A and B are shown apart, each in its own frame.
Chain A
Amino acid sequence: MISRSRLCELICRWVWLIVIIRIGPVNGAEVVTDSVYTLYTQSLPPYSMMVQESSADSKSADSKFSVSAGSLSQNKRTGNSASAEQTARSLTRASGLAVDIVEQLFSRSGLSSRVEILPWSRAYRMAANDRQGCLFPVQRTQEREAQFQWISPLIITETGFFTRADFPASIRTLDDVRDLRIASYRGNAIADYLTGFGYDVDISNDEFVNLKRLQIKRVDVWAADTLTAAFFIRKSSGTDVHNQLTFFTTLRGLACNTAIPVEVIKELRLQLKTMYADGTIELIRDKYR
């Protein structure tokens, strides 16, 4: 039987949530605007996730997430969406590796912004249609290149082929998974990448579910971001899953609506470069390793 806390956690992942974070201009930056940019993302620990405000100072990304999940699923149980959102606002906020980077990026650029966590396809659609919207952290691909203006890379990530420890074969190259059943999550460009080779990719909305499917042998391989996989493996106390091959490196960027003024985009690009140069990106990354 599924535990109550697990049920809460599952529900919260399937219910889209809105948490608004307002960041006011902090310095007299050159790009001056009253606009509030909406930064859309999906829940994908440790990059973007809900955390409970009271635990925001915690150094452990894992504990932040677990606390958040319980709170939000509790809101859902009231059946009152307005109340749920209100409660969410008071108790939770968006956090994570990518959220921390974009918050600081917009703050340094003197731009107001808010973060919205939505299901992937909705977040993508909103960013494409909202003239003040951006999407993050997006795997920058040739197919997506023309749809947005890019501030990239926010982060450089890696994707691995994860298998159970008792998996009988070794995976040394991409070709070695050709005849295997592979789990991936919706919105992951890697899913499209593997599907493009004709591979058997089983897509779900939730990486934790993918881990479970791997553990109960519903799939042979889990193609997952290495940090996300590590997060969920730790969370499940799993020791039976390991990364056989880190097969792909991805530049993940901030993809902004094409209507956003080019001056704003240039300022964001400049500030991002500064964040790499002064070690800010590395510091944020270290926090989530």
Chain B
Amino acid sequence: MLQTRFPQLFYFLLVALIPALIPVSDFSVYADIREARYWLETEFSETTLEPEQQLREMEWFITAAKPYRNMTVRVVSERIDAHFYEANTLAKAFEDITGIKVIHEVTGEDDVIKKLQAQIDLNFSIYDAYINDSDLIGTHFRSNNVVPISEFIAGDGAEVTLPTLDLEDFIGLRFTTAPDGKIYQLPDQQFANLYWYRHDWFSRPELKQQFQARYGYELNVPKNWSAYEDIAEFFSVYVKEIDGQRVYGHMDYGNADPSLGWRFSDAWLSMAGVGDPGIPNGLPVDEWGIRIEGCRPVGASVARGGALNSPAAIYATRKFVDWLHKYAPPEAQRMNFTQAGAVPGRGNIAQQIFWYTAFTAAMTDPALPVNDADGTPKWRMAPSPHGAYWQQGMKLGYQDVGAWTFLKSTPVNRRKAAWLYAQFVVSKTVSLRKTLVGLAPIRLSDIESEYFTDIAHKYGGLVEFYRSPARNYWTPTGSNVPDYPGLSNLWWQNIGAAVDGSKSAEQVMNQLAVRMDQEMGRLQFQMKGPCRPALNPVQSEDYWYQQPGAPKAKLVNENPKGVTQSYPQSLERWR
């Protein structure tokens, strides 16, 4: 098509004709369209829309933004590539095109949550919008502090809602929809937690031979934790050096700060097999070990029917601590999420069981030793191996869905201006380009585009993951968690003691389960509504172990034989 082959010519012809269509008095609109044309030509040429469709979207933004021109909107998000692109590039484009200035702050995820909580607690508007993980969906729908976007679109926000927003195109919408059927948040970026490994090392014949001789099966993508552990030991203890460099078979982080909590609450227990089968989070016991009845959380401890201190959860914690101490670089114990993220790219890590694809863009730098000079990765990402308690039909990984969230304490005109910006950064005009920069896709139309086909070879399995049904099975924290900001703190505050060795995994998980129950007991009386917690009475643990499903009794053998599979076979698991 001519538009495809000569997009710039089409932009020029279309925009050249636009002045004739605009009233002579409204020169500001024409100026804005000139700005839009500039941005479309220079930044947003990679798109699933035709150029004239892009221009029509921009015209709509210009018109809808008129009442809010010269307003300054302040929003906040976590510190990942997709949000840096928004803060540094898209905020500028939006201001040039609409006249609404946006200050898009980027900070740690924990800080985003603290600020959101402060605004709720103090009923004081700090930000006009938050890009807040959908992990808080259970909090939002119970709290009555968040404006559900489905209600906003139908009400106050109707005249500022983009006609081409196309909600059905968002792959993460199910994660931002609560049990009450309302959509609370609009997805802005998504990334998953997958297994990462050095495909080039795993393909070396001499290493394959050594592994086979020692462990009795092929060095390949691990299917279970036993194989992961064998591979970790193989590289850290026996191989030790590759091409003159000290190498490790495992990477993780253990510093006692909030990010240690995410290492667990982001599906680690479900990977071990702690909860029950059932997508998205396990039913009736989820990946936090919380049992749900109807929509009411009834307990986290085994004594109340939960699984947070069950043998499976203790196993998950013990494996995390053991591997960190035995097989990861020594400095990993003092690292946090951000610091650890860059380590595999340095070229001395063989595999990482818990790797956030938010780091993919940074991992593709051709200057890194993990890539060839042309940028082709020597690494791959694959489905995460599962623990001994895991069963078919259970959640096997985590997906982060950063989503636009609007609090009721924000004045409605400011909310409308922020909603315009939110829609701009996820609009079809912009979203493909943002996805190519940040590699955190949100729209099915982007994922299925030819652009994605063309780049698939550069990203070691990311495109394959997002084109498969697995994108629905790697899920965020679900609606069972009634107060994410409050309860998520308990994870890192307790797990740290297992990392530094001051307490055993069993002691830590028992303590964590008690604290989680205590907090939910408090919420039972503080919260309102039909979905507030209602703790089960304490019963003997044996009673619960005799019931079907989670909590599960201790397995006789928590270390079954390791199983591996080829990379193509592993991708089949996503299909």
B496 touches A146 (CB 8 A): yes
Query: Is A152 a contact of B257 with CB atoms below 8 Å?
Result: no
Cβ of B114 within 8 Å of any chain A Cβ, yes or no, is yes
Binds A, one of B116-124, B323-331, B343-351: B116-124
Binds B, one of A17-25, A100-108, A246-254: A246-254
Distance of A156 Cα from B114 Cα, bound (Å): 12
Among the stretches A50-58, A76-84, A111-119, A170-178, the one at the interface with B is: A170-178
**Given known contacts A153-B118, A173-B87, A174-B87, is B105 in contact with A142 (CB within 8 Å)?**
no
Instruction: Verify if A240 is at the interface (C-beta below 8 Å from B).
Output: no
Give the residues in chain B near A143, CB-CB below 8 Å: 257, 336
Find B259's partner among A142, A172, A245, A276 (CB 8 Å cutoff).
Answer: A142
Give complex CA distance A266, B518 in Å: 16
Report the minimal beta-carbon distance from B63 to chain A, rounded to whole angstroms.
24
Chain B: minimal CB distance from A250 (Å): 9
A140 touches B95 (CB 8 A): no
In the complex, are the beta carbons of B108 and A142 less than 8 A apart? yes
Chain A residues in 8 Å Cβ range of B121: 273
Given that A142-B111, A152-B114, A173-B92 are contacting pairs, would A249 and B127 also be in contact in the complex, using a CB cutoff of 8 Å?
yes
Cα of A175 to Cα of B85 in the assembled complex, Å: 10
A156 to B122, CA, bound (A): 11
Contact A173 B115, CB 8 Å, known A142-B110, A249-B74: no
- Interface presence of B362 (CB below 8 A): no
Q: Are A140 and B111 neighbours in the complex by a CB distance under 8 Å?
A: yes
Q: How far is the CB of A141 from chain B (nearest CB, A)?
A: 7
A230-269: which residues lie under 8 A (CB-CB) from chain B?
Answer: 245-249, 251
Give the docked Cα–Cα distance between A249 and B76 (Å).
9
Nearest B-chain residue to A276, judged by Cβ: B122
CB contact under 8 A between A145 and B118, given known A173-B91, A245-B103, A248-B105 = no
Known A-B contacts A145-B257, A251-B118; A172 and B95 likewise in contact (beta carbons under 8 Å): yes
Q: Is B402 engaged at the interface, CB distance under 8 Å to the other chain? A: no
User: Which A-chain residue is minimally distant from B260 (CB atoms)?
Assistant: A146
Complex Cα spacing A142 to B106, Å: 13
Q: In the complex the two chains form, what is the Cα distance from A248 to B104 in whole Å?
A: 9
Asked whether B118 lies within 8 Å of A152 as measured between CB atoms, the reply is yes
Given contacts A143-B257, A276-B122, contact A174 B336 (CB under 8 A): no
Cα distance A251–B76 in the bound complex, in angstroms: 13
Which residues in B have their C-beta under 8 angstroms from that of A247? 103, 105
**What is the CA–CA distance of A173 and B256 in the complex, to the nearest angstrom?**
32
Kindly supply a per-residue 1/0 record for chain B positions 536-556, scoring 1 wherever the CB is within 8 Å of any chain A CB and 0 otherwise. Answer: 000000000000000000000
Residues of chain B in range 78-115 having any CB-CB distance to chain A below 8 Å: 87-89, 91-92, 95, 103-111, 114-115
Q: For window 140-185 of chain A, which residues contact chain B by CB distance below 8 Å?
A: 140-143, 145-146, 152-153, 156, 172-175
Does B258 have its Cβ within 8 Å of any Cβ on chain A?
Answer: yes
Q: How far is the CB of A274 from chain B (nearest CB, A)?
A: 11
| Cα(A145)–Cα(B257), bound, Å | 6
- Chain A residues within an 8 Å CB radius of B256: 146
- Which chain A residues lie closer than 8 Å to B89 at the CB level? 173, 175
- The answer to whether A246 and B103 touch (CB under 8 A), given A173-B91, A251-B115, is yes
> What residues on A are CB-neighbors of B104 within 8 Å?
173
- Indicate which residue in A146, A156, A276 contacts B257 across the interface (CB closer than 8 Å): A146
For B489, the closest partner residue in chain A by CB is A145
CB-CB contacts below 8 Å: B221-272 with A: 255-259
Q: Is the CB of A141 within 8 A of B115?
A: no
Q: Does B571 contact A (CB under 8 A)?
A: no
Is B492 an interface residue, CB under 8 A from the partner?
yes
Among B111, B124, B496, the residue within 8 A (CB) of A141 is B111
Cα A12 to Cα B294 in complex, Å, equals 65
Q: Does B64 reach chain A (CB closer than 8 Å)? A: no
B122 to chain A, nearest CB (A): 5
Contacts of B255 in A (CB 8 A): 146
Q: Cβ of B105 and Cβ of A276 under 8 Å apart?
A: no
A71 shortest CB reach to chain B, Å: 37
Chain A neighbourhood of B259, CB < 8 A? 142
Interface string of A180-196 (1 = CB under 8 A from B): 00000000000001000
Closest to A139 in B: B111
Set of chain A residues within 8 Å of B258, measured between Cβ atoms: 142, 145-146
| Distance in angstroms between the alpha carbons of A143 and B260 in the assembled complex | 11
Nearest to B86 among chain A residues (CB) is A173
Point out the residues of chain B lying under 8 angstroms from A245, CB to CB.
103
B295 at the A/B interface (Cβ < 8 Å)?
no
Q: From residue B123, how far is it (CB to closest CB) to chain A in Å?
A: 8
The docked-state distance in angstroms from the alpha carbon of A251 to that of B115 is 7
A193 cross-chain contacts in B, Cβ below 8 A:
107
Q: In the assembled complex, which residues on chain A have CB atoms less than 8 Å from the CB atom of B361? A: none
A283 to B108, CA, bound (A): 30
In the complex, what's the smallest C-beta–C-beta distance from A221 to chain B, in angstroms? 16
Partner of B88, one of A141, A153, A173, A273: A173
Q: Which of B95, B106, B110, B115 contacts A145 (CB 8 A)?
A: B110
Residues of B contacting A173 with CB < 8 Å?
Answer: 87-89, 91-92, 104
> Could you list 23 examples of A-B contacts with CB < 8 Å?
A142-B110, A142-B257, A142-B259, A145-B110, A146-B493, A146-B496, A152-B118, A153-B118, A156-B118, A172-B91, A173-B87, A173-B88, A173-B91, A174-B88, A175-B87, A175-B88, A248-B105, A249-B76, A249-B115, A249-B126, A251-B114, A273-B121, A276-B122
Interface, chain A (partner B; CB < 8 A):
140-143, 145-146, 152-153, 156, 172-175, 193, 245-249, 251, 273, 276
Residues on B lying within 8 angstroms of A by beta carbon are 74, 76, 87-89, 91-92, 95, 103-111, 114-115, 118, 121-122, 124, 126-127, 255-259, 336, 492-493, 496
5 further contact pairs, Cβ within 8 A, besides A173-B89, A173-B104: A142-B336, A174-B106, A175-B87, A247-B105, A273-B122
- Listed from nearest, the 8 A-B pairs whose CB atoms lie closest are A175-B88, A142-B108, A142-B110, A173-B88, A146-B256, A276-B122, A146-B257, A153-B118
